[in-house]
Amino acid sequence: MRKKVDTVGVIFRLVKRLAWWILILGVGWYYFNNQQFQQATNQRLWQARERVAQLVTGTKTTSSGETGNQSSSKAAGADQVPTNGRWPSQEATVFVNTGNTTLDNATNAAIQSWNQTGAFRFRTTTDQQQADIVVKKMDNNTSAAGLTEASTNPLTGRIVHADVSLNQHYLLNPLYGYSNQRIVNTAEHELGHAIGLDHTNNVSVMQPAGSYYTIQQADVQAVKKLYSD
């Protein structure tokens, strides 16, 4: 006896599958053709990844950076409030290899500037695997001239690793007007995040936009306060 075919059911399933494919293709097209949606989606995916990593490894990752778009308004906020934790002591090892002489030199100058304050000491190393902080470059047209991602132990509030990225799209493009000193200031800013400092609207190397200031006495005091206990 021949089995009766459910024609309506077959058509319904085909239409349902077709609708799903249209939806997937539509979202994909919108993702690749809408930069704002793409950035928002990437941010949510990154946050989801970090939640999983936190559950698996017991560490929390936070991101801070300096805006590259000079027309951007400064981030709202009060004085420097450390939100990224701090290191167990006032020193950390740094591996510098951006693959660009200008960025490498600027980073080394920034390291020297922070070391001269006496508030925190960076020790350079040639072994990336042993480094507490890794400084590298990125090249994209996001709003960040620099970005620091710090992984923190949520139980102790201590930083366990930090990655600093300097964006050559802004820093090395004459159209954006970054002098060598401002590139150094940007590196100082990102290393400030790696230490544990947040943005401030005061006269400070930690201003979120512009990198018009080098390390100020207020920055030195903020680091000393952060590591006072």
**What does the pLDDT read at residue 22?**
87
Buried b (16+ CB within 10 A) or exposed e, 73-83: eeeeeeebebe
Give yes or no: residues 52 and 115 share one domain: no
pLDDT at 49 over 60: no
Query: Has residue 187 got a pLDDT over 80?
Result: yes
Q: What is the pLDDT of residues 140-166, one digit of tens each?
A: 877 689 999 999 998 888 999 999 999
**7: pLDDT strictly greater than 50:** yes
> Do 191 and 123 have their domain in common?
yes
Q: What pLDDT does residue 79 have?
A: 40
Q: Are residues 164 and 99 in the same domain?
A: yes
Q: Is the pLDDT of residue 104 over 70?
A: yes
d(CA 110, CA 89): 19
Say if 207 falls within a structural domain.
yes
Q: Return the CATH number at 117.
A: 3.40.390.10
171 in any annotated domain? yes
Q: Chain-wide mean pLDDT for the chain?
A: 82
In a domain, 24, yes or no: yes
On whether both 133 and 214 belong to a single domain, the answer is yes
| Judgement on whether residues 90 and 40 belong to the same structural domain of the protein | no
Q: What pLDDT shows up at residue 75?
A: 30
How many structural domains comprise the chain? 2
Per-residue pLDDT tens over the stretch 201-224: 999 999 987 588 999 999 999 999
Q: Classify residue 65: in a domain, yes or no.
A: no
Is the model's pLDDT at 78 over the cut of 50?
Answer: no
Between the ranges 16-25, 73-82, 104-113, 199-208, where is the mean pLDDT highest?
A: 104-113
Tell me, yes or no, whether 62 lies in a domain.
Answer: no
Same domain, yes or no: 119 and 177: yes
Q: Is residue 64 part of a domain?
A: no
**Percent of the chain residues past pLDDT 70, beyond the cut:** 74
pLDDT tens-digit series, residues 8-36:
777 878 888 888 888 888 888 877 777 56
Q: What is the pLDDT of residue 222?
A: 96
39 and 90 inside one domain: no
Domain match, 90 and 41 both: no
Determine contact, residues 192/206, Cβ cutoff 8 Å: yes
Q: For residue 11, give its domain range.
A: 7-57
Residue 182 lies in a domain: yes
Domain end among 41, 57, 73: 57
Same-domain pairing of 204 and 152? yes
The separation between CA 26 and the C-alpha centre of its own chain, rounded to angstroms, equals 30
Nearest Cα residue to 35 out of 137, 142, 138, 139: 142
Decide if 73 is inside a domain: no
Q: To 10 degrees, what angle do helices 217-226 and 180-195 make? A: 20
Do 218 and 176 share a structural domain?
Answer: yes
- One domain, residues 89 and 185: yes
51 and 88 housed in the same domain: no
**Cα 5 to chain center, whole Å?**
58
Residue 82: its pLDDT value, please? Answer: 46
